[in-house]
Amino acid sequence: MRIGIDARPLATHSGGIPRVVRSIVRELAQLDPQNEYYFYSHRDFQLPFRMPNWRKRVEPLAHVLPGTLWLQVVAKRRILQDRLDVFWGTAHVLPLGLPSSMVKILTAYDLVWLKYPETMSWYNRQVNRSLAPPSMRQADRIMVISESTAKDLQVLAGIERSKVEVVYLGASQAYRPRDRAAAVRYIAAKFGVSENFICAVGTLEPRKNLVTLLGAVRRLRDRRSWRHQLLVAGARGWKESRIHQTVRRLGLFEHEVRFLGYVPEEDLPLLYSGAAVFVFPSIYEGFGLPLAEAMACGVPIVASDCSSIPEIVQDAALLVSPHRPEEFANAIARVIEDHELRVALVEKGLNRARLFRWDTAARKVIRMLTRDAA
């Protein structure tokens, strides 16, 4: 079977979607050596393995086109030439007008463009509004990453539930409990930060709601018992200036908040493991990959009580309103001060994390890719 994959996310090093696609592709090498895979991208990228049944399709000079335009024009032409049996749209959209004989699988990570469009850039909002609905109609099956997103597809986009399949994401084996003292020393030395820290992981953009977390840190400082530093790991994003303006407005100093920028994936397990608390204040998530990783590393979690987050963590985190800095401050302080609570959250998180595996996700993806085309 000839299976095509939108490999544009593999040409990007940061962000949730690239990590998801890269992790599933890595598992495909182990689980499916029979089918032929074609990887289409407007920029060059590295595949995790050299496989005789894998073929890269990177068009010369195609990088001068926006990625979505390239997918609709250049990639579509090459896809038709390769006479695929199946095409997997890994990032919300498909090349429109593919033949009905070709099975089309689409991954929809969330519906942020419908629920919280104000948290997106104008360009990304317009791309999703114009291309996501026809892509969903054209798709034979839609893969989502939580029951929460499946419900959003039904209610907001009118997609029949029978067309949707939930595939939970995973945490790689690198995400496991580490010696906390050693992890603290490593992170402190590499990034020049305090050995007492809490952490947040996510792109610096409005949806991640760091403004609420910064407000919580200011409230904790005002109580005069705050001895930790907030470390924020995440690539630069849209409207990040508002975050830095909030830091200045609240009078927070570098010893209280540090923005680490993009943190290499090999350092993330140590960042999680060294943190006193992992904090996730997002207002909307399709899954929330850092939640699975943090639970697997054995760090207690304080998170928002909305969208998919309660579904993913269940009782392995303290959940509070994403709009109330005071609630986040109280929950963070409680986790730091209550040893029994910390132990309970860690144990529940480790148990919950066992459900989220990349090989399980990849097996479900393979079944989706091959079932209807067989």
Residues 137 and 198 in one domain: no
Domain annotation covers residue 34: yes
- Residue 121's domain spans which residues? 2-170+357-371
Say whether both 44 and 142 belong to one domain.
Answer: yes
For residues 147 and 202, membership in a common domain is answered with no
Q: Residue 21's pLDDT is what?
A: 96
Rounded to the nearest angstrom, the gap between the alpha carbon of residue 229 and the centroid of all alpha carbons in its chain is 24
Say if residue 339 is in the same domain as residue 361.
no
Please check whether residues 126 and 192 belong to one and the same domain. Answer: no
Please report the pLDDT score of residue 260 as a whole number.
95
Burial-class residue 306 by CB neighbours within 10 Å (0-12, 13-18, 19+): middle
- The domain that holds 300 is classified in CATH as 3.40.50.2000
Tokens representing 161 are 């539930």
Residue 46 shares a structural domain with residue 9: yes
CA 223/CA 183 separation, integer angstroms: 28
Is residue 323 assigned to a domain? Answer: yes
Q: Are 367 and 309 in contact (CB under 8 A)?
A: no
Residue 236 sits in the same domain as residue 342: yes
CA 103 – CA 86 distance, rounded (Å): 5
Residues 6+ apart with CB under 8 A from 81: none
Q: Work out whether the CA dihedral 21, 22, 23, 27 comes out positive or negative.
A: positive
Residue 124 lies in a domain: yes
Residue 175 lies in a domain: no
**334 and 190, same structural domain?**
yes
Q: Are residues 84 and 125 in the same domain?
A: yes
Q: Would you mind telling me the total number of residues written for the chain in this entry?
A: 374
DSSP result, 18-52: HHHHHHHHHHHHHH-SSSEEEEEESS----SS--T
First to last CA, the chain: 8
Spatial CA neighbour of 273 closest among 293, 295, 297, 296: 297
- CB contact at 8 A, 270 and 177: no
The Cα 257–Cα 252 span in angstroms is: 7
Q: Are residues 50 and 196 in the same domain?
A: no
Residue 330, burial from CB neighbour count under 10 angstroms (0-12, 13-18, 19+): middle
Q: Do 114 and 215 share a domain, yes or no?
A: no
Would you say residue 100 lies in a domain? yes
pLDDT of residue 236: 79
* Number of domains present in the structure of the chain: 2
Q: Show pLDDT as tens, one digit a residue, over the chain (374 residues).
A: 999 999 999 998 777 899 999 999 999 999 999 999 999 999 889 888 889 999 999 976 656 667 888 899 899 999 999 999 999 999 999 999 999 999 999 999 999 999 999 888 888 899 999 999 999 999 999 999 999 999 999 999 999 999 999 999 999 999 999 999 999 999 999 999 999 999 999 988 889 999 999 999 999 999 887 899 999 999 876 667 788 899 999 999 999 999 999 999 999 999 999 999 999 999 999 999 999 999 999 999 999 999 999 999 999 999 999 999 999 999 999 999 999 999 999 999 999 999 999 999 999 999 999 986 65
Q: Looking at residue 296, what is its pLDDT?
A: 98
- Yes or no: say if 82 and 98 are a contact pair by the CB < 8 Å rule: no
pTM over 0.85: yes
* Cβ neighbours around 367 below 10 Å, total: 12
The answer on 334 and 218 residing in a single domain is yes
Residue 45 lies in a domain: yes
pLDDT at 374: 58
